[in-house]
Structure 1
Amino acid sequence: MGTARARADSARPGLVDRGLRLLLRSRVLPFVLRLKLNKLLCSGGPPVAYRTDVGGCIYQGMPHNLIDNHVYYLGMYEPAIAEAMRFCVKAMPDLGRCAFVDIGANTGLFTLVGAKLFACVHAFEPYPPVFARLEEHIGLNGLESVNLYPLGLGAGQGDLPFIAPSPDNYGTGHFLGTGAGSAGLRLPVASGDQVLQHRSCAIGLVKLDVEGHEPQVLRGLADVLKTDQPVVIMELNTTTKQAFGNIEALMASFPTGYIPLAIRRKKCGFSVERFQWAKKQDNIVVVPAHRRAAFGPVA
């Protein structure tokens, strides 16, 4: 299974814990059910720090953390995103020769997956304690193709107020708007067009998950979107929808011709369905017109 697997799963869980991991990683059960069982049976999170395999790389998880809880018991956090990334590279092989941009990289789960799929990776994470874990994972795996940026992306250069994540869920950190005042923590931002203007290869795929800051990120990435026309995978939760306001504002953030599709949650594999603004669809993939056929028919 490779060096990463040989060194992974270094924690020594008890019999009950091993049984829970076996149950919750079973592809026989629908993922939504496994999520509910995880919340019911394993809300305390991993009992110890651990190492495991993520996308062929070593991931070092910590106890009592939601993201690391999902990796430990379920095998992955937001597995639909990783499945979408793998699908895109398989269905559009030229993407593998391009760069992957991970905006809101957090501790590096999708950065690690992307490092094995793309020619290079650009990963952005502004919150220093979380960036330190991201940096640790890249060093632990010796990934020289990954470029790390200790900042967020936005509509321009400067710094913005930032709400630090809770210790048990690093995914809750987020920027506030420019009119939110100057008190408290402020972290640097820059536009993606500025930071990536000297990129060595075209951007093929973007993963975007920044808890409501998406409109500003896309505004600062306008030239990259127009020039490289990457596929964009993004979270679209209630907070993000409120930030855009409506579907017209969402699609105005992309060049003409981009098409939104919803990522379906399945027991395994990857598929898309018709995107509906009013429907709860956690993640979407926004596709340039010339890539649309790769995703097949939509129900």
Structure 2
Amino acid sequence: MTDFMEKQAVCVWTRAHIRGIGAWDMCTYSADIDIWVSRRIQQRGSFEGDCVLEVVSALRAAAKAGPEPVLIDVGGNIGMFSLAAAAVGVETHTFEPVPANALKLMASAVRNGFGHLIHLYSMGASDDNSVFAMGVNPQNQGGVTHVPLLEEGAKFMQIPVVPLDSVLPSDAFSKRPVYLKMDIEGGECRALRGMRRFLQKANLIGAAFETDKSETIACCNELMRPPNGAFQLLRFHQSLCPYDQDRRNKLPFEDLCFLKPKNVAPAVGMNATWPDNMIWKPC
């Protein structure tokens, strides 16, 4: 076993914490092989803590109002969102195709007594049953990326992918409040295409996407196309509206496809740019 593989297998136990949620033990990577997620959790206690708090707060509010809510976490990484939800007693269905990430997530779940709340699927999301090549960054263990989006010569692994409509029992989520979180480093278009039935039938109270801007903008017209485009379903079937999570401003739904990446000047007459994190909230 190489030094890198040995480092990849080790749990660096860290006390994660978010004000307003609580604290829990978390199995992380060594900071030198995961400079984003693990390092920030070790240094700050959380990763994307503001977004995690917003998602968990919505789930908590739903729990007080009626049936027990559930988090669908697509791209669970080492479990920041899923573990935070489980820490307040919320059930999660978590999709994480990278074996080392999935093992760390489940180690954390067992250590904290969350095993009964976190249902882990070691597979990725797409629009058909297939195998994808995913690029591996030796300094960002969670940030595997679809190979077509990588530079030539990048190292990669193969992972199984499935349409989430073939896995998620959407009828079971028609009455329970559901929050959808997706962060899959590319491939969002295929993943959303493969869960249209779920987007139609689930009782969604919110959604959070970290979008690969180039890919998602490229398929924006499909996402907006009635009657079954994913964004169309979120807006008119689920009555959710899009926001830039980082800037806290509401986005112009009708003009989403005209928004530019942040390094490109907005279209004439627009102040908004395409967000790194798009949150869908009740309108």
* Normalised TM-score (structure 1): 0.68
Does the 8 Å CA contact 2:73/2:95 hold for their aligned counterparts?
yes
Secondary structure class of the residue paired with 2:138:
coil
Structure 1: where are the runs of 5+ without partners?
Answer: 1-47, 178-182, 266-271, 293-299
**1:129 matches 2:100:** yes
Higher strand share: 2
Deviation at 1:186, TM superposition (A): 1.9
Instruction: State the partner residue of 1:253.
Output: 230
Query: Alpha-carbon deviations, 1:4-44, whole Å to 9, x = none?
Result: xxxxxxxxxxxxxxxxxxxxxxxxxxxxxxxxxxxxxxxxx
Secondary structure class of the residue paired with 1:53:
strand
What is the alpha-carbon distance in structure 2 between the residues aligned to residue 222 and residue 113 of structure 1? 27
Secondary structure class of the residue paired with 1:112:
helix
Does the 8 Å CA contact 1:214/1:240 hold for their aligned counterparts?
no
Q: 1:235 to 1:229 in 2, by over 3 A?
A: same
Does the 8 Å CA contact 2:71/2:85 hold for their aligned counterparts?
yes
**1:84 matches 2:61:** no
What is the alpha-carbon distance in structure 1 between the residues aligned to residue 99 and residue 45 of structure 2? 26
Instruction: State the partner residue of 1:188.
Output: 160
What is the alpha-carbon distance in structure 2 between the residues aligned to residue 186 and residue 160 of structure 1? 6
Secondary structure class of the residue paired with 1:171:
strand
**1:282 matches 2:252:** no
Deviation at 1:199, TM superposition (A): 6.9
Instruction: State the partner residue of 2:87.
Output: 116
Paired AA for residue 230 in structure 2: S
Q: 1:78 to 1:244 in 2, by over 3 A?
A: same
Q: 1:186 to 1:285 in 2, by over 3 A?
A: same
What is the alpha-carbon distance in structure 2 between the residues aligned to residue 57 and residue 153 of structure 1? 28
Deviation at 1:90, TM superposition (A): 4.6
Paired AA for residue 273 in structure 1: N
Deviation at 1:158, TM superposition (A): 2.1
1:156-235 to 2 correspondences below 5 Å: 156-164=128-136, 166-176=137-147, 185-197=157-169, 200-201=172-173, 202=176, 204-230=178-204, 231-235=206-210
Number of equivalent positions: 229
1:2-151 to 2 correspondences below 5 Å: 49-54=12-17, 55-61=22-28, 62-64=30-32, 65=34, 66-92=36-62, 93-94=64-65, 97-117=68-88, 119-143=90-114, 144-151=116-123
What is the alpha-carbon distance in structure 2 between the residues aligned to residue 286 and residue 136 of structure 1? 31
Q: 1:282 to 1:84 in 2, by over 3 A?
A: same
Paired AA for residue 63 in structure 1: A
What is the alpha-carbon distance in structure 1 between the residues aligned to residue 171 and residue 118 of structure 2? 13
Does the 8 Å CA contact 1:95/1:205 hold for their aligned counterparts?
no
RMSD (Å) for aligned C-alpha atoms: 2.8
What is the alpha-carbon distance in structure 2 between the residues aligned to residue 280 and residue 196 of structure 1? 29
Does the 8 Å CA contact 2:127/2:163 hold for their aligned counterparts?
yes
Q: 1:91 to 1:99 in 2, by over 3 A?
A: closer
What is the alpha-carbon distance in structure 1 between the residues aligned to residue 72 and residue 37 of structure 2? 20
Paired AA for residue 45 in structure 2: G
What is the alpha-carbon distance in structure 2 between the residues aligned to residue 282 and residue 184 of structure 1? 24
Deviation at 1:103, TM superposition (A): 0.5
Q: 1:189 to 1:158 in 2, by over 3 A?
A: same
Secondary structure class of the residue paired with 1:163:
strand
Secondary structure class of the residue paired with 1:172:
strand
* Normalised TM-score (structure 2): 0.71
Q: 1:246 to 1:150 in 2, by over 3 A?
A: closer
